[in-house]
Amino acid sequence: MIVEPAKRTESVREYYFSTKNREIAALNVERKAKGLEPIINLGIGSPDGTPPKAALDALCASAPKDGVHGYQNYTGIPELRQAFSDWYAKWYGVKLDPACEIQPLTGSKEGILITSLAYLNAGDKALIPDPGYPTYTSATLMTESIPVKYNLRAENGWYPDFDELEAMDLSGVKLMWTNYPGMPTGAKASMELYERIVDFGCRHKILIINDNPYSFIRNEEHLSILAVPGARECCLEMNSLSKAHNMAGWRLGMIAGDAQYIKEILKVKSQMDSGIFRPLQLAAVEALKADESWFASLNAEYYRRAAVAGRIMEALGAEYNPDSAGLFVWGKVSVPPVELSDKLLHQAGVFITPGYIFGHNGEQYIRISLCAPVPALEKALERILAVL
């Protein structure tokens, strides 16, 4: 290299699952040479199911047409914004103005970075849940802002300790990330929780960004922080088609809130991309029309998978909550999780995520993804039992 990288890159590393997937690919080459079956990857939460048929049909019907392959409007097509608005009204009881209160995204992961760029100056602080999604921290660091961890603990139901939050030095804190149903913990939201978060944000003049992609997965009560009176004053909410519609690779999400907040996010987004491929947007419109039967079928499969994942947790002597939500099962183990993960990877050919990557409060935990079919989970259990 003839130039030094930007200083901001010194504060972050390559994403954990990016490096781990490369390691797993190399191990699979070795296993194949030895006549062994591939590693069963129970790491990342990438849904393995098929999107709603209506979405696939819409994509196939529109993609061959003339006039759909150029740049698209930065704000998304009106049909998609309306579909997101209808979706929020039906499932969350929240009325959003499709003209100005919804910004489509190429996945909510993009939203984490562009929202951070829109609202954080160098030296500002952002409250990050511990344990929580690592990208909240990475995006904060890449804006040259300061991540300030706040504790989520099992004894508090993985909810914030508001007394502890109030006692913290909140000077310079401009933004706070929340995520329910929680990743990696699976903790479910409640309106009481959202009311307390909104009250906290309004009183301390902190912008709350609630990341809400798991509210349909093993979770019958669909809640939005925007349903709380007064939430628009201090809250934004991100959502996604990745999990509930099996469309992770399509990269389709949204952020919603007061028009003035959305306007600032659009300033950044419009500099970073040139819109979402129109046939993808038209497919998303159809996906968002999915009814109760779609989600019932989706969750029936995830509950079957969670039952096997629970048996894996029990085989490992882990304490876990069988009533958790989302795409993962989260369990506390009595042995060092990193050593356990490495042992299972190299000896059993099963990858399970060690919880330290989600923060200090995850250091005694492991996480099992439900994005593998029941036969694969059962085979993983067989391999683990053989090693144990």
pLDDT digits (tens, 9 = 90+) for 120-140: 999 999 999 999 999 999 999
Closest CA to 214 of 190, 242, 174: 242
What single string gives the DSSP state of each residue in 5-27?
PPGGGGG--S-HHHHHHHHHHHH
Assign 373 to helix, strand or coil: coil
Return the CA Rg of the chain: 21
Predicted confidence at residue 87, as pLDDT, reads 98
Give the dihedral of Cα atoms 303, 305, 297, 193; nearest 10 deg. Answer: 40
Of 70, 67, 102, whose CA–CA distance to 88 is shortest?
102
pLDDT per position as a tens digit, 239-254 = 999 999 999 999 999 9
- 48-to-45, 60, 202 alpha-carbon distances in Å: 9, 20, 40
Q: Confirm if 244 and 87 have CB atoms less than 8 A apart.
A: no
Q: How much is the pLDDT for 325?
A: 98
- Amino acid 362: pLDDT: 98
Strand-pairing partners, residue 179, are 211
Q: What's the mean pLDDT in 13-26?
A: 89
* CATH, domain range 70-287: 3.40.640.10
| 54 within 8 A of 286, measured Cβ to Cβ | yes
284 pLDDT exceeds 90?
A: yes
Q: What is the pLDDT of residues 251-266, one digit of tens each?
A: 999 999 999 999 999 9
- pLDDT surpassing 90 at residue 1: no
Which pLDDT does position 264 carry in this prediction?
A: 97
Q: Which long-range contacts (CB under 8 A, 24 or more apart) does 137-141 make?
A: 138/12, 138/15, 139/112, 139/113, 140/116, 141/8, 141/11, 141/12
In tens, the pLDDT along 290-346 reads: 999 999 999 999 999 999 999 999 999 999 999 999 999 999 999 999 999 999 999
At 206, is the pLDDT very low, low, confident or very high (cuts 50, 70, 90)? very high
The pLDDT of residue 84 is 98
- Position of tokens 């809400």? 212
- Residue 30, pLDDT score: 94
Tell me if 87 sits within 8 A of 288, measured CB to CB.
yes
Q: Is it the case that residue 16 has pLDDT exceeding 90?
A: no
| pLDDT surpasses 90 at 15 | no
Q: Sign of the C-alpha dihedral, residues 354, 110, 152, 146?
A: positive
Q: What pLDDT score does 6 carry?
A: 85
pLDDT at 9: 82
Instruction: Label residue 196 exposed, middle or buried (CB < 10 Å: 0-12, 13-18, 19+).
Output: middle
> Could you tell me the residue ranges of all domains in the chain?
7-50+292-387, 70-287
- Using alpha carbons, select from 251, 204, 216, 210 the residue that is nearest to residue 228: 210
Grouping H, G, I as helix, E, B as strand and the rest as coil, residue 228 is coil
pLDDT exceeds cutoff 90 at 12: no
Looking at the predicted structure, is the pLDDT value of residue 32 above 90?
yes
Distances (CA, A) of 380 to 24, 230, 384: 15, 47, 6
Q: What is the mean pLDDT of residues 229-236?
A: 97
Q: Percentage of the chain surpassing pLDDT 90? A: 93
Average pLDDT over residues 144-152: 97
- Tens digits of per-residue pLDDT, 76-103? 999 999 999 999 999 999 999 999 999 9
Q: Which CATH class is domain 7-50+292-387?
A: alpha beta
The percentage of residues in the chain with a pLDDT greater than 70, rounded to a whole number, is: 100
pLDDT for res 31? 94
Q: What is the DSSP string of 113-170?
A: HHHHHHH--TT-EEEEEES--HHHHHHHHHTT-EEEEEEB-GGGTT-B-HHHHHHS--
Q: Which residues contact 366 (CB under 8 A, 6 or more apart)?
A: 316, 318, 330, 331, 333, 337, 340, 341, 352, 353, 354, 355
pLDDT band per the 50, 70, 90 thresholds, residue 13: confident
Alpha helices in the chain, H assignment, sequence order? 16-33, 53-62, 78-92, 108-119, 134-142, 162-167, 191-204, 259-272, 278-287, 292-315, 337-343, 374-387
Rounded Cα–Cα distance for residues 285 and 290 (Å):
10
| Residue range 170-196: mean pLDDT, rounded | 98
pLDDT of 172: 97
pLDDT band at 17 (very low <50, low <70, confident <90, very high): confident
Average pLDDT over all residues of the chain: 96
